[in-house]
Amino acid sequence: MYKYDNYDQQMVDTRVEEFRDQAKRRLEGKITEDQFKPLRLMNGLYLQLHAYMLRVAIPYGTLNGAQMHALADIADKYDRGYGHFTTRQNIQYNWIKLEEAGDLLADLAKVEMHAIQTSGNCIRNISSDHFAGAAADELVDPRPYAELLRQWSSFHPEFMYLPRKFKIAVIAAETDRAAMRLHDIGIQIVKNDAGEIGASFYVGGGMGRTPMIAPQVREFVPLNQLVTYSEACLRVYNRHGRRDNKYKARIKILVHEMGAEEYTRQVEEEFAHMLDQGVEPPLAEIERLRPYFADPAFVDGPKTCDRSDPDFALWVDRNTNRHKHDSYVSAVISLKPVGGIPGDATAEQMHLMAELASKYSFDELRVMHTQNIVLPHVAISDLHALWTALEAAGLGSPNLDTIEDIIACPGLDYCSLANARSIPLAQKISERFAASGKTGELGQLKLKISGCINACGHHHAGHIGILGVDKKGTENYQLSLGGSEAEDVALAKITGRGFDEAGVINAVETVTDIYLGARNEGERFLDTYRRIGMTPFKEALYD
């Protein structure tokens, strides 16, 4: 993985001292909260329901054991012994003290981490495929390109005050594991008919109150123009994006209102203008980055393992992904125990995951946007030992992509923007389905819960989505069906009037029963929904 050079380290260290001074001046009353707020947000420090919350960037979700150990130490030293892995492959701490924030950031910097640009109207942490560099189905490893864009977008003076926040995802497989087309810019590394590697650009996607699927604006951008084209996309947005209304300020609104064709025309015009201006880093730069993401020293070994333990076999079937080296798999550590809080991990669990990464995965971990952790390179011969250790720590839930693998935002339990609680719903739904024994029978079923219209829980992209709303001071939940964040991307549609908490849990079960009764052989929930439509579900829910 990428290692800071002296310049990177100096930049981050300088920023830590700058923020330490800003916080000190705030505590001394030399600057007001209005003056301080944009400064702390630029460093990932929010004021949430119960305390300050710090969001730490994990570039494209990749981290090493030392970094995971440091995240655990921070949970113990500055928080209350746990952290929350997010849908942008980051981690958040919920109980940070302002007077300690500078020390915390200094500790992060020691392991080449920071919280810069994890908030504010700038380019946020770049996300990617959590199986990057390991998946059997990828064209190339997308992370060198994500890293190039990370370096380009960090402290980019032109894009620090965009009309609104800006999120970029980079993938390099036909299977989309990063919700690529639901980003402001989605980039897919592709090969053209001539066999050249380049980038397909999708611009103007997003969730939130106005969900949009990004249209393709360019089928193929040569890799030696990747940064320039990205900059052209940003520049047109920065010029025309609305700054008068934050609800209409995202690039998706601009692309929608301007029209994808006109937006693309302006991007191409800007791009042509920029091509000879030396914006693009030399190709040598990407070649400099590539070795950081070189394959570890894989060794040939067994291609299969003893599956006589049915619990182990189930975990292997559900929680591992095919690796490009046939003696390895990528193993998913579920942070979704039945009745647990999706994405939360204790300091002890983080330390254990770091140790297991060191022992079994070349010291590498990934954070998934589905709030789980990946050990990307696990020898098949080590799988049973890994699973045994995970089981003992409550991290062995065999539920990847099942109805128990629920994405849930922090919701009203933590978030000042939320209208309703998300986590208790996730806990009760996972308990209901685990108790009924239907989880396996239901197969792949992605359930996503957001506590407000900002959609951090990705409810628009859920096969089943739940949105919490405030109905005259009480929590109410809208159910939606048919969304997908994957390569078959779609936005979910609302079933009808909302439910209270107990009602929406029953409604989820009703919907799954309709699916089980109507499905054809081999159909996922989403396939059946697409074949039979909304009507049978609505009839069962409301008639």
Partner 1 sequence: MKILTGNDLKSGAVVWWDGAGWSLQVNDAVDVGEDADTIAASEEAARRVNVPYAIEATRDSQGVRPAHIKDRVRALGPTVRPDLTLKPTEPEALDWIV
Q: Give contact residues for partner 1 (rule: CB under 8 A).
A: 26-29, 33, 47, 49-52, 80, 95-99, 341, 412-414, 416, 418, 421, 423-424, 427, 473-475
Nearest-approach distance from CB 418 to partner 1, in angstroms: 8
Cα separation of 48 and 26, whole Å? 18
Measuring CA to CA, how many Å separate 147 from each of 82, 254, 362? 28, 27, 20
Nearest-approach distance from CB 338 to partner 1, in angstroms: 14
Nearest CA among 129, 160, 142 for reference residue 15: 160
Cα separation of 212 and 227, whole Å? 24
80 versus 243: smaller Cβ distance to partner 1 = 80
One-letter identity of residue 266: Q
| Bridge partners, residue 481, by sequence | 464, 493
157 versus 473: smaller Cβ distance to partner 1 = 473
357 versus 467: smaller Cβ distance to partner 1 = 467
Cα separation of 505 and 356, whole Å? 36
329 versus 434: smaller Cβ distance to partner 1 = 434
Cα separation of 8 and 526, whole Å? 44
51 versus 160: smaller Cβ distance to partner 1 = 51
Nearest-approach distance from CB 250 to partner 1, in angstroms: 25
37 versus 156: smaller Cβ distance to partner 1 = 37
93 versus 202: smaller Cβ distance to partner 1 = 93
Contact of 221 with 202, CB cutoff 8 Å: no
The helix-helix angle for 98-110 and 65-78 (nearest 10°) equals 160
Cα Rg of the chain, angstroms: 23
34 versus 193: smaller Cβ distance to partner 1 = 34
Nearest-approach distance from CB 474 to partner 1, in angstroms: 7
Cα separation of 163 and 333, whole Å? 37
| Sheet bearing 127-128, strands edge to edge | 127-128, 168-171, 185-191, 197-203, 216-222
The helix-helix angle for 423-436 and 501-518 (nearest 10°) equals 40
Contact of 120 with 38, CB cutoff 8 Å: yes
